[in-house]
C-alpha cells in the first residue's frame, strides 16, 4: 500500500491524515495542539510550536493508521492563511507569528486602502486590505518593531514555513499567496506597486509555484529524522486551509460557479470555486490552489463565539432554542465580514420572558446570518442568483452539530449536502501530496477519491422573519460597532 500524508496546520492544532493513495481511504489521523497567546487584538503563536506539533501529529498518525513509515510516499501541508512569519538567515523565527485573527493592524489596513484606493486594490490583489491580510501585519511590524523587520531574511506564511522545514525550498502557491495582498490574482505574480507601497522586498518572499500540488522538493534528511519518515519522498508546495478544503471537496472552477460551501469552524467562511474573477469589496478575491479563483467571505466569530455564549450561560451546545424576538451580533473578536475590526458583541430584544436557551439560539442565528449574508454577496459577484436553490455544502466542526445544521437550513432555505469526510482540509492536502507524486491534477485525485459526497438534506422554508430582524439590528447598530 502506498500512503500520502495531508497536514492541516490550523489555528488551534495540527492534524496529519494518512490516506491510501489509491482509494483515498482515511487510514488514521494524528493530532497535536497549538498554543495561541495575546490579548487586546493580539493573537500569536511561536512557529516552532507548529513544527513540533507536526512531528507529534505524524507520529500519532503513524500509530493510528497502523502502517509502516516506509509506505509513506508523499506529504503536503495546508495551513491557516495570512499569518506573518518572520525568519532570520538560518530560517529561525525572529518573533512569534502574527495570526490571521490578530486585529492590531487595522489602522495600517485603513491607511493602505486610502493610499491606493479600493478600485485599484481590487484590480490588483482582488481583495481590500483588512487586518487579517499579511501585508497589513508587515506594515504594523515596520511601524511598531522596526528592528525586527530590519533583521528579516525571509517572510513566510504558516504553511510556507512548514513546507520549507520539510524540503528546504522557499515556495508558496497561488492560493495562499493571494491572501497576502502582495500577489496579484490578475497577473499571477507579485505586484511591484503593492510591494513598494507596503515596504516589502520581493527577495524576502517565497517563489510562487504553478499550484499547490507542484512538487516543491524532497523531504530532507533532517526533516525525515524529526518526523520518522523516509528521506527523499516528494513534498508538495501545499496551500492555505480554505484552498485545501476546496480541493478536498473536488471543487475545480470548472464552470461559472462550483458548489458554494459554508465552513463552520473557529472562524466561518463561505467560498466557491469559479473561473470568474470577482472584484467585490466585501469578499476576499482569493486564487484557488490551481490558480483559478476561490472568492471567499470570512467571519471571525463562528463556533468559538457561540461556544463562549453557551459557557457564559452554563448551557451545552445543543441547549439552544430559536432566538424569538432577539437579535445577537456575536462580534466578540471584532469582525472581518463585515469589516468591523473593533466591534464588540451586541444583543437586543431582551425581555423578562427571555430564556437562556433563546439567547444561545440567537447567537447561532447571528453567526449564521453573518455567513449567509456574505454568501449572498459572493453569489451575486460571480453572476449567480442568491435566491437560487443550488445545494449548499456545509463543512467544518460545526457541521457535526445538529443546531448549527438546522440553523443554516432555516436561515438559508437551501438544500444542504453534509460531506461524510470530516477532515477535508487534510484530505485536500493529501490530494496535493499525491499530485506531487504522480503529477496528476489534485482536484481530479480528490474527485476519484469521492471525498466530497455525503448526506443530502431537503430545504426548509426560509425564516425571513429572523433574517430581517437581525439585518435591521445590524443596520441600526453599524455606527455603534464602528466606534
Q: What is the DSSP annotation of 228-280?
A: T--TT-EEE--EEHHHHHHHHTT----SS-EEEEEEESSSEEEEEEBSS----
Average pLDDT score over residue span 238-259: 81
- Cβ-proximal residues to 112 (8 Å cutoff; 6+ apart), any chain: 121, 129, 135, 136, 139, 181, 197, 198
What is the mean predicted confidence (pLDDT) over 207-222?
A: 97
Instruction: Extract the C-alpha cell encoding 222.
Output: 533532517
pLDDT tens digits along 451-477: 888 999 999 999 999 999 999 999 887
User: 163-177, 258-272, 294-308: lowest mean pLDDT where?
Assistant: 258-272
Q: Contact, 172 vs 155, CB < 8 A?
A: no
For residues 92-110, give the mean pLDDT: 95
More confident residue, 479 or 17: 17
Q: Provide the total of helices (H) and of strands (E) in the chain, helices listed first.
A: 16, 24
Closest CA to 321 of 402, 207, 235: 402
Q: How many CA atoms lie within 13 A of 169 on its CB side?
A: 18
* 170 SS3 class: coil
Average of pLDDT values for 58-66? 97
Query: Can you give the three-state secondary structure of 110-168, one letter per residue?
Result: HHHHHHHCHHHHHHHCCCCCCCCCHHHHHHHHHHHCHHHHHHCCEEECHHHHHHHHHHC
Q: What's the CA gap between 416 and 389, in Å, rounded? A: 10
Q: What integer pLDDT is reported at residue 452 of this predicted model?
A: 85
Residue 81, SS3 per DSSP: coil
What pLDDT is recorded for position 284?
87
Catalytic position from the list 60, 241, 333, 339: 241
> If you average pLDDT over residues 40-60, what whole number do you get?
97
Q: How confident is the model at residue 382 (pLDDT cuts 50, 70, 90)?
A: confident
| DSSP characters over 434-483 | HHHHH---HHHHHHHHTTT-EEEEPPPPP-HHHHHHHHHHHHHHHHHHH-
Choices 3.40.640.10, 3.30.360.10, 3.30.420.40, 3.40.50.800: CATH for 3-243: 3.30.420.40
Q: What is the Cα–Cα distance from 19 to 74, expressed in whole angstroms?
A: 10
Mean pLDDT of the chain: 93
Does 241 qualify as catalytic in the annotation?
Answer: yes
Write the pLDDT tens digit of every residue in 282-300.
888 999 998 789 999 888 8
Over the stretch 181-208, which tens digit does the pLDDT of each residue have? 999 998 999 999 999 999 999 999 999 9
Residue 336 — very low, low, confident or very high, per pLDDT cuts 50/70/90? confident
Over residues 272-291, the mean pLDDT reads: 85
CA distance 256 to 278: 11
Grid coordinates representing 35? 498554543
Output the furthest CA–CA distance in the chain (Å, rounded): 67
pLDDT at 396: 86
CA-nearest of 419, 416, 417, 306 to 370 is 306
Which SS3 state, helix, strand or coil, does residue 197 take? helix
Alpha-carbon dihedral of residues 337, 388, 425, 135, nearest 10 degrees?
Answer: -30
Q: How confident is the model at residue 481 (pLDDT cuts 50, 70, 90)?
A: low
Residues 8-19 have a mean pLDDT of 96
What's the rounded Cα separation, in Å, for the pair 37 and 95? 13
377 phi and psi, to 5 degrees? -65, -40
What average pLDDT does range 340-348 have in this prediction?
Answer: 89
Separation in Å, CA 468 to CA 365, 388, 472, 482: 12, 19, 6, 21
Mean predicted confidence (pLDDT) in 230-252: 94
| Rounded Cα–Cα distance for residues 451 and 453 (Å) | 6
Share of the chain above pLDDT 90, in %: 80
Reference 182, options 166, 162, 205, 164; nearest CA is: 205
Pair 394, 416: CB distance under 8 Å: yes
pLDDT of residue 337: 82
Alpha-carbon distances of 13 from 31, 49, 53, 96, 383, rounded to whole Å: 7, 10, 8, 16, 37
Give the pLDDT score at 66. 96
User: Vertex 218, ends 217 and 221: CA angle to 5°?
Assistant: 135
Q: Which H or E run includes 79?
A: strand 72-79
* pLDDT for the residue 218: 98
Amino acid at each position: 500500500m502506498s500512503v500520502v500524508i495531508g497536514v492541516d496546520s490550523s489555528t488551534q492544532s495540527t492534524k496529519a491524515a494518512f490516506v491510501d493513495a489509491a482509494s483515498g481511504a482515511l487510514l488514521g489521523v494524528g493530532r497535536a495542539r497549538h498554543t495561541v497567546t495575546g490579548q487586546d487584538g493580539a493573537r500569536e503563536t511561536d512557529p516552532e510550536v507548529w513544527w513540533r506539533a507536526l512531528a507529534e501529529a505524524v507520529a500519532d498518525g503513524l500509530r493510528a493508521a497502523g502502517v509502516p513509515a516506509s509506505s509513506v510516499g508523499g506529504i503536503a501541508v495546508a495551513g491557516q492563511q495570512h499569518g506573518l512569519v518572520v525568519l532570520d538567515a538560518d530560517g529561525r523565527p525572529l518573533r512569534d507569528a502574527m495570526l490571521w485573527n490578530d486585529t492590531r493592524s487595522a489602522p495600517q489596513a485603513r491607511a493602505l486602502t486610502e493610499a491606493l484606493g479600493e478600485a485599484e486594490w481590487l484590480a490588483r490583489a482582488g481583495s481590500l486590505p483588512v487586518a487579517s491580510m499579511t501585508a497589513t501585519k508587515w506594515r504594523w511590524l515596520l511601524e511598531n518593531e522596526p528592528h525586527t523587520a530590519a533583521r528579516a531574511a525571509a517572510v513566510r506564511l504558516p504553511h510556507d514555513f512548514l513546507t520549507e522545514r520539510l524540503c528546504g525550498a522557499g515556495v508558496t502557491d497561488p492560493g495562499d499567496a493571494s491572501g497576502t495582498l502582495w500577489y496579484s490574482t490578475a497577473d499571477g505574480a507579485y505586484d511591484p506597486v503593492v510591494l513598494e507601497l507596503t515596504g516589502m522586498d520581493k527577495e524576502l518572499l517565497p517563489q510562487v509555484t504553478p499550484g499547490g500540488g507542484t512538487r516543491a522538493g524532497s523531504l530532507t534528511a533532517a526533516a525525515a529524522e524529526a518526523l520518522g519518515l523516509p528521506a527523499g519522498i516528494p513534498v508538495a508546495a501545499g496551500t492555505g486551509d480554505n484552498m485545501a478544503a476546496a480541493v478536498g471537496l473536488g471543487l475545480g472552477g470548472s464552470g461559472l460557479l462550483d458548489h458554494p460551501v459554508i465552513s463552520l469552524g473557529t472562524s466561518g467562511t463561505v467560498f466557491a470555486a469559479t473561473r470568474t474573477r470577482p472584484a467585490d469589496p466585501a469578499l476576499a478575491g482569493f486564487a484557488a490552489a490551481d490558480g483559478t479563483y476561490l472568492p471567499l467571505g470570512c467571519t471571525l466569530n463562528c463556533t468559538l463565539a457561540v461556544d463562549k455564549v453557551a459557557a457564559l450561560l452554563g448551557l451545552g451546545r445543543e441547549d439552544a432554542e430559536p432566538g424569538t424576538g432577539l437579535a445577537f451580533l456575536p462580534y466578540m473578536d471584532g469582525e472581518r465580514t463585515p469589516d468591523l475590526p473593533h466591534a464588540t458583541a451586541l444583543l437586543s430584544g431582551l425581555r423578562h420572558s427571555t430564556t437562556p436557551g433563546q439567547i444561545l439560539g440567537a447567537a447561532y442565528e447571528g453567526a449564521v446570518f453573518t455567513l449567509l449574508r456574505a454568501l449572498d454577496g459572493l453569489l451575486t459577484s460571480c453572476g449567480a442568483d442568491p435566491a437560487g436553490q443550488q445545494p449548499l455544502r456545509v463543512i467544518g466542526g460545526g457541521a457535526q452539530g445538529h443546531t448549527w445544521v438546522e440553523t443554516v437550513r432555516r436561515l438559508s432555505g437551501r438544500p444542504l449536502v453534509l460531506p461524510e469526510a470530516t477532515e477535508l482540509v487534510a484530505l485536500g492536502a493529501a490530494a496535493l501530496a499525491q499530485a506531487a507524486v504522480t503529477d496528476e491534477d489534485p482536484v481530479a485525485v480528490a474527485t476519484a477519491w469521492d471525498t466530497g459526497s455525503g448526506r443530502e438534506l431537503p430545504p426548509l422554508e426560509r425564516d425571513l422573519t429572523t433574517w430581517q430582524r437581525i439585518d435591521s439590528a445590524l443596520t441600526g447598530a453599524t455606527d455603534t460597532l464602528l466606534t
